Amino acid sequence: MSTRIPIQHHNTPADADPEDREPAAFSRVPPQDLEAEQSVIGSLLLSGSPSSASYRFFSEILETGLLAEEYYQPAHQTIHSAICDLHKAGEPVDPVTVADKLTEQGEITRVGGRAYLHACVQAAPTAANGPHYAEIVRAKAYRRAVIESAQRILHYAYSEEGDENEIRDLVEQQLTEIIAGTPGLHETPPTVGDLYLGFVADLEEIQDGKKMGLPYGFADLDTLTSGMQPGNVTVVAAQSGVGKSTLALNAAVAAAKTGARTMFSSLEMSGTELMQKIAAAEGKIALHHLTHKNGLTSEGWETVRRLGSELFQTLPLRVYRPDGASLSDIASAARACARNGGLELLVVDYLQLVEVEQSRNTTREQAVAAVSRGLKNLSVQLDCHVIALSQLNDDGLMRESRAIKNDASVVIKVERPDADDKESPRSGEVDLVIEKNRFGPTACVTVAAQLHYSRFVDMAQT
């Protein structure tokens, strides 16, 4: 926000000469949205306890940069300050703790009492929208700051104080502060000269083999694509039942084994199902032994226990199954991971199940395109790689393919030659057809399917 400049108010008599009166525009009610302010306060009160399922929204609201002085209503400024004081002290934030804090400060009556805090909670439709309400409040505050600067300029111009150079300096100062405080204002992009030294340093690491993206876990695929690069999207497309979820989970585990912080968001499988698949793949335990009564032998149980200490307790892999299927839920969980230690790989299983807000006239293709674009933007914002799974139709074509392919850096189509011919001489083989590759050539990589272990492996490992 721009630096606030005190406004010099003048009481102009009603019978004064019209030319001496303050411009009518400045007698209007300044821009403000009290409902949005109440909703921000309510969202903070709803999500301020670390034990709350919506706690991540609390941090996202504060990350908008909203300051107490940006509220129009003084009571809201006071409440926001109390909330921030509690948060900085490591205390939970809720209507009771905030009311106690305000009582301690002697401010509880001035803000409307405990009842007003509960009124703010009731005014917030959902804590998930808190960051959006905060942006509304900030935008209104910025407009008020612009008006303050404009009033200062007009007053100085009408007063005839100072000379032309002083007026020019004041105008320049005010306009500079207004522009500098513009929400979302970008800095001047760097020149290629600014980027050159970093480019050479990266180039040396690439040529020395020291800089690779995260591994997919398949030697030829990693060589062709240089691994999974941050800020990019890989689309894995396949028909139902071919194993695209298994392939993506294998890649997630391979990346996490290198220390990459990873989140696997599944709209189909539960956390238990994903754990079963990982245990089967890493312990070479037949998957059906993990899913049926008395399927495990004593050796199998020993393997599961060993995986606990040697793999699961150390693997930086988070599993997220959203309550709904919205893109905003997935994005919020990803941002929470980024705040809590970082996020380098996000897997979304799968695109066509993710929902976005859409109007009545939005087509299914437009909706999926919005999801694809949202995941691409998220990869850039969080500087992580995204693997997005996509369903193929019966003709082997990717549903809503144009938008998905446009946003992806790498597109891998998974094909099983033996899917329709059990007697195929290529039984057990799977082709990873690289249809798009911004980092190298397109090609076909053949791997072996060991689906009874819920995994794919390089042919050399068979």
Instruction: Please check whether residues 174 and 228 belong to one and the same domain.
Output: no
Residue 1, pLDDT > 50, answer no
Structural domain including 371 reads 219-461
Instruction: Please check whether residues 262 and 307 belong to one and the same domain.
Output: yes
Among 183, 203, 228, the domain boundary falls at: 183
Instruction: Please check whether residues 162 and 245 belong to one and the same domain.
Output: no
Whether 258 is covered by a domain: the verdict is yes
Q: Which tokens is 96 given?
A: 């009771």
- C-beta of residue 107 within 8 angstroms of C-beta of residue 82: yes
Whether 207 is covered by a domain: the verdict is no
Instruction: Please check whether residues 172 and 260 belong to one and the same domain.
Output: no
Instruction: Please check whether residues 164 and 305 belong to one and the same domain.
Output: no
pTM over the 0.75 mark:
no
Backbone angles phi, psi at 320, to 5 degrees: -130, 120
DSSP secondary structure code for residue 281 in this structure? H
Residue 341, pLDDT > 50, answer yes
Residue 239, pLDDT > 70, answer yes
Among 135, 159, 183, the domain boundary falls at: 183
Residue 358, pLDDT > 70, answer no
Residue count of the chain, please give it.
462
Instruction: Please check whether residues 174 and 227 belong to one and the same domain.
Output: no
Whether 190 is covered by a domain: the verdict is no
109: domain CATH number?
Answer: 1.10.860.10
- C-beta of residue 234 within 8 angstroms of C-beta of residue 386: yes
Range with the lowest mean pLDDT among 34-43, 209-218, 264-273, 358-367? Answer: 358-367
Instruction: Please check whether residues 438 and 359 belong to one and the same domain.
Output: yes
Residue 375, pLDDT > 80, answer yes
**Higher confidence at residue 354 or residue 83?**
83
Instruction: Please check whether residues 154 and 231 belong to one and the same domain.
Output: no
* Per-residue confidence (pLDDT) for residue 193, from 0 to 100: 87
Environment class of 423 (CB within 10 Å of its CB; exposed 0-12, middle 13-18, buried 19+): exposed
The total domain count for the chain is 2
Separation between Cα atoms, residue 41 and residue 62, nearest integer Å: 11
359 pLDDT tier (thresholds 50, 70, 90): low
Instruction: Please check whether residues 14 and 139 belong to one and the same domain.
Output: yes
> Omega into 72 within 30° of 0, i.e. cis?
no
Among 183, 204, 232, the domain boundary falls at: 183
Instruction: Please check whether residues 175 and 240 belong to one and the same domain.
Output: no
Whether 204 is covered by a domain: the verdict is no
Instruction: Please check whether residues 178 and 313 belong to one and the same domain.
Output: no
